[in-house]
Amino acid sequence: MRIREATSEDWAQIWPFLRDIVRAGDTYTWDRDVTEGRARELWMSTPPARTVVAVDGDTVLGTAKLARNHMGPGSHIANASFMVSPDHGGRGVGRALGGYVLDLARADGYRAMQFNAVVETNTRAVALWQSLGFEIIATLPEGFEHPAKGFVGLHIMYRKL
């Protein structure tokens, strides 16, 4: 597995699994019926934001986006988002992307990273971020409408860099 900056050619492989993850609606606070055009706008970054992909040869396994979480006097706090293809789950793609993006954020001069919306029922993601040094600093009660479980909490997670 190798991680590199995403190119516009990667989008054709990103969109099918990103679409499925967003449509499932149990982990992401995106509109479930997001169009491909809007999704591409949201995911494929322009500087200073960055989008990366984890690849195995020509196959995209997962992708991550690093961006500012606040503007102006808060722009030293990064945000990141991660999407791993369900076809390639269980082989550490999320963890590898997480470590890579933390390093990238440090190199870009960010001082901390904040996740705004980690669904509390997404326990694998919560555990992964905790193992990478993130803490749950707050939980929005009933912040997320889960398709099967109803209103569940939405964690805000944070770590210094």
Shortest distance, CB of residue 84 to a copy of itself, whole angstroms? 19
Q: From the CB of 58, what's the least distance to a copy of itself, in Å?
A: 31
Residue 49 near a copy of itself by CB under 8 A: no
- Contact flag: residue 143 with a copy of itself (CB under 8 A): yes
Is residue 11 at the binding interface for a copy of itself, with CB under 8 A as the rule? no
| Residue of 30, 43, 129, 134 interacting with a copy of itself (CB under 8 A) | 30
What lies within 8 Å, CB to CB, of 86 at 6+ separation is 17, 20, 21
Sheet-wide strand order for 77-84: 2-5, 50-56, 59-68, 77-84, 112-119, 150-160, 135-146
- In degrees, rounded to 5, the angle at the alpha carbon of residue 85 between the alpha carbons of residues 82 and 87 is 155
As a whole number of angstroms, the distance between CA 138 and CA 158 comes to: 9
- Which of 19, 40, 95, 146: binder of a copy of itself (CB under 8 A)? 146
User: From CA 3, how far away is CA 20, in angstroms rounded?
Assistant: 22
Show contacts with a copy of itself in window 72-111 (CB under 8 A). 72-77, 111
- Binding residue count for a copy of itself, defined by CB under 8 A: 37
| 25 part of the interface to a copy of itself, by CB under 8 A | yes
Residues lying near a copy of itself in the complex (CB under 8 A): 22, 25-26, 28-32, 34, 70-77, 111-112, 114, 116-117, 137-147, 154, 156, 158, 160
